[in-house]
Amino acid sequence: MVSAQLHFLCLLTLYLTCGYGQEGKFSGPLKPMTFSIFEGQEPSQIIFQFKTNPPAVNFELTGETDGIFKIEKDGLLYHTRALDRETRAVHHLQLAALDSRGAIVDGPVPIIIEVKDINDNRPTFLQSKYEGSVRQNSRPGKPFMYVNATDLDDPATPNGQLFYQIVIQLPKINNDMYFQINNKTGAISLTPEGSQELDPVKNPSYSLVVSVKDMGGQNENSFSDTASVDISVRENIWKAPEPVEIRENLTDPHPIKITQVQWNDPGAQYSLVNKEKLSPFPFSIDQEGNIYVTQPLDREEKNSHVFFATAKDENGKPLAYPLEIYVKVIDINDNPPTCLSPVTVFEVQENEPLGNSIGNFVAHDMDEANSINSILKYKLVDQTPKVPSDGLFLIGEYEGKVQLSKQSLKKQDSPQYNLTVEVSDIDFKTLCSVQVNVIDINDQIPIFETSNYGSKTLSEDTAIGSTILIIQATDADEPFTGSSKILYKIVQGDTEGRLEVVTDPMTNAGYVKIKKPLDFETQPVSSIVFKAENPEPLVEGIEYNASSFASFELIVTDVNEVPVFPRRIFQANVSEDAAVGSRVGNVTARDPEGLAVSYSLKGNTRGWLKIDSVTGEIFSAAPLDRETESVYRVQVVATEVGGSSLSSTADFHLVLTDVNDNPPRLAKDYTGLFFCHPLSAPGSLIFEATDDDQQSLRRPKFTFALGREGLQSDWEVSKINGTHARLSTRHTRFEEQVYNIPIRINDGGQPPMEGIVSLPVTFCRCVEGSCFRPAGRQDGIPTVGMAVGILLTTFLVIGIILAVVFIRIRKDKVENPQSPENKPLRS
């Protein structure tokens, strides 16, 4: 009894000391309530004090008390020992108020005790050791095994949130991690390095140590556990098969299985990728990975096929990289030899020695090259005409070389022979036609009709392409053959290549033409020697002699030519602040006749330049300004001194480089700036500055300040960036008028330039956000009173005029009483 009283006194003391007696927060009437209490707290903690009115004198607590929860007669609810959320997370209690006889007078009401979690449990792996396996070259990031841990703490709080990581990998090659773990799910997969480097031959197994932490791994006081993982590496069977060989034009029933691919695990979905876009695609694959050819293939149409096999999971995601499938189509002899042209033509000179090659005859076979199916044999089966005898030709059995076999040919016997060549492979034969033309041998040299064509005088400005002479040689060989065709060469007197000779193919006439400009100053007189020759070589024992050579003399007369500039455009760069009289460039020209040259300027509209008429040196003649014209263009006129005073021109471009010589200014007109009057709060306006100097790649960096110190109590200028600034009011006490605020802007250049600009700011009454200015009286516009007076005066004058007219009419009627029809009105 004493012990119980002492216990109650302790509770009461704690209750009063801790302030639990405050009405409403820690005490109140009997009603349904829910309390949240952290687990692990010290026992004898007061939860709440329930209050009732007579006749209730006691309380009764029932339900899931677990011998922990107690209530005193005065309504103090408390627990006698620490709570454990993992034992019971929620206690459902019933509380009733009793009278002195133990009868219920209020309640029972539900009382719920929620036990809040604290981190008092460490995570533990379900196994201390895990074992798994993975195929080499598996897709990185795809899990092949899981490790799992549990934590009795509340998973909805950080106390029960687990964080997995790999702490050790053995072996660890080149410090690369081959494995990775999902820190939330415990899923283990390969890294990209592991997908590439795992090899069961080099390292058949790996050992990992994985850890798990609670508190999401973010708290240094979190609990942890470790487990070992042994992983064996299995050989990857997802490999490209060996190249497949298929005979073309197979007659067996299709489809025909040709190879197979297989994923490392069952259940993969296979498909083929036709990257060559063949239509129709002659291959298919079933869900066992068997690959089929679905129709006969033709090697001559396509001698090989390359496509890809893919494996996907049930969601259509690739399990690995596609495999290349290579199919070679094996040739069969299904194509006969073909002639390259309907008739193959060869030429042979008469008197050609026996055994000399006339030409190589070649046929074609579409079957596979360098195989038995495409090896061809050649055989002569006919010769027309058979004069002077049959068998004049023979052909190499495999190389197709055509040769003379019995005697040399003579054109008078037959100018042409037609041969039939049989071309065969192991199964087929084809007949082809060969035509042999007998041509005259080149045993005659070209002979000029004259050996000296005299002289020719031309001015040095004769147009290029002009024909200046026609030469003629003849050849007694057969016309229109390589033996009789004549080519003319200039072999002496034209080292500069100023002339050329063009042969007329019908007449063999040679047209001597100007190829390059003639030049009196370089070579006024030239002795030209021509040689006539054939494109075909002369037969042995025959050589060109003096009859194949001719000459003529070319005399070039002088023409007064304009001075010549070495180039069309001259350019110079100079700073725009160059002093007047500075040398800015030099232009020179040369007169072909060696005369002196005088220089002058043309198009010097601004008068900025002058030129030394003798040397061609150009000087500045006035201040230069890049902002007016950044590239100043003039023409330099070169005139020969003496002679015909011919002239020529060249362009001179003076590029002006910038110097900092322009002060900053406002970028636009700012007359529309205003504040609504009266100001309710200090306001601000933004303005922009610029200057006319050349802008560099970097934006300008202006600085801004008020133009007068006396304005600093009313206004403030603050820089926004290198071109913009903000003008702000410092108070609201401004009158309704226009303020012109001076702003000092400095460009910070070299040398620095500074300008003071005026920024007009209007304070005005506003209507719907716009500035409203009542119209004032302007000069020349009358006031309202003046307008009324003018109007009354006008009416008075009109009345007087009408009265005068009326009186005049009355007077006329009295003096002349006639009918108005008979008397005209007076003007």
User: Both tokens of residue 824?
Assistant: 């005209």
Q: What is the pLDDT of residue 220?
A: 80
CATH fold for domain 338-439: Immunoglobulin-like (2.60.40)
Does pLDDT of 281 surpass 60? yes
pTM of the model: 0.39
Residue 118: pLDDT band (50, 70, 90) is confident
* Nearby residues of 789 by Cβ (< 8 Å), 6 or more positions away: none
- Residue 694 is given by DSSP the state P
By the 8 A CB rule, do 272 and 307 touch? yes
Q: Find residue 615's DSSP bridge partners.
A: none
Tens digit of pLDDT for each residue in 292-328?
999 999 998 999 999 999 999 888 988 888 999 999 9
Would you identify the CATH topology of the domain 27-116? Immunoglobulin-like (2.60.40)
d(CA 629, CA 624): 9
Amino acid at 574: V
Distance CA 576, CA 582 (A): 11
HSE (CB half, 13 Å, CA atoms) of 796?
A: 6
H helix intervals, 115-245: 192-197
Question: What is residue 318's DSSP assignment?
Answer: B
Confidence class for position 778, pLDDT limits 50, 70, 90: very low
Cα dihedral 193, 196, 202, 205 sign: positive
Q: How far is Cα 375 from Cα 365, in angstroms, rounded to an integer?
A: 8
Q: How confident is the model at residue 812 (pLDDT cuts 50, 70, 90)?
A: low
CATH topology of domain 446-557: Immunoglobulin-like (2.60.40)
Cα–Cα distance measured from residue 766 to residue 487, given in angstroms and rounded to the nearest whole number: 99
- The 3-state DSSP class for residue 651 equals strand
* pLDDT band for position 9 (cuts 50, 70, 90): very low
Helix (H) or strand (E) holding 757: strand 754-767
Measure the CA–CA gap between 578 and 214, rounded to whole angstroms: 79
What count of other Cβ atoms lies within 10 Å of the Cβ of residue 25? 10
Q: Token digits for 88?
A: 């019971």
- 649 and 600 in contact (C-beta within 8 Å)? no
Whether the CB-CB separation of 133 and 189 falls below 8 Å is answered with no
If pLDDT is split at 50, 70 and 90, which confidence band does 782 have? low
Q: What is the mean pLDDT of residues 727-741?
A: 92
Task: Please tell me the predicted confidence (pLDDT) of residue 186.
Answer: 95
Structure confidence at residue 342 (pLDDT) = 95
Coil/strand/helix, residue 215: helix
In CATH, the architecture of 124-234 is Sandwich (2.60)
Residue type, 341: S
> What percentage of the chain exceeds 70 in pLDDT?
92
Question: Quick one: which of 179, 134, 153, 42 has its CA closest to 87?
Answer: 153
Give the pLDDT confidence of 514-568 residue by residue, as tens digits: 999 888 878 899 999 999 999 888 888 889 999 999 999 999 987 777 888 999 9
Structure-block tokens of residue 755: 């300008």
CATH 2.60.40.60 in the chain: give the residue spans: 27-116, 124-234, 244-330, 338-439, 446-557, 569-657, 665-771
**Residues in contact with 809: Cβ distance below 8 Å, sequence separation at least 6, in sequence order:** none
Diameter over CA atoms, the chain: 164
pLDDT at 691: 82
State the Cα–Cα distance between residues 817 and 827, nearest whole angstrom.
18
3-class secondary-structure state, position 195 = helix
Nearest-angstrom CA–CA distance, 154 and 160: 5
Q: What is the pLDDT of residue 18?
A: 37
CA distances for 43 relative to 250, 269, 698, angstroms: 92, 63, 74
Number of other residues whose CB lies within 10 A of the CB of residue 94 = 15
What pLDDT was estimated at residue 772? 75
DSSP string spanning 789-808? Answer: HHHHHHHHHHHHHHHHHHHH
Cα-based distances in Å from 651 to 401, 583, 603: 67, 17, 10
Q: Where does 665-771 sit in CATH, by number? A: 2.60.40.60
Do 113 and 84 contact (CB within 8 A), yes or no?
Answer: no
Q: With contact defined as beta carbons under 8 Å apart, do 589 and 564 qualify? A: yes
Q: Which residue has the tokens 């007087």?
A: 800
CATH class of 569-657: mainly beta
Q: Give the β-pairing of 429-439 and 343-349.
A: parallel
Which among 186, 124, 184, 115 is positioned nearest to 151, based on CA atoms? 124
pLDDT at 335: 93
* Contacts of range 16-23, beta carbons closer than 8 Å, 24 or more positions apart: 18/46, 20/46, 20/49, 21/49
Check whether 58 has a pLDDT greater than 70: yes
Helix, strand, coil percentages for the chain (3-state, nearest 5): 10, 40, 50
For 362, residues 6+ apart whose C-beta sits below 8 A from its C-beta are 340, 400
Instruction: Convert the pLDDT of each residue in 375-426 to its tens digit.
Output: 999 999 999 999 999 999 999 999 999 999 988 888 878 999 999 999 999 9
Alpha carbon distance 314, 371 (integer Å):
47
Residue 793 pLDDT greater than 90, yes or no = no
pLDDT at 154: 85
User: Tokens for 64?
Assistant: 């899931």
Kindly state the tokens that stand for 380.
């002569």
pLDDT of residue 569: 94
Find residue 564's DSSP bridge partners.
590
Bridge partners (DSSP) of residue 620 are: 609
Amino acid at site 488: Y
Structure confidence at residue 816 as a pLDDT band (50, 70, 90): low
Tell me the pairing of strands 549-557 and 452-459.
parallel
Q: Over 60: is that where the pLDDT of 13 sits? A: no
**Mean per-residue pLDDT, 481-508:** 92
Q: Is residue 187 within 8 Å of residue 146, measured between CB atoms? A: yes
Q: Which CATH number fits domain 244-330: 3.30.1490.100, 2.60.40.60, 1.20.120.790, 2.30.42.10?
A: 2.60.40.60
Cα angle for residues 120, 125, 126 (degrees, 5° grid): 115
Q: What would the 3-class secondary structure string for 615-667 be?
A: CCEEEECCCCCCCCCCEEEEEEEEEECCCCCCEEEEEEEEEEECCCCCCCEEC
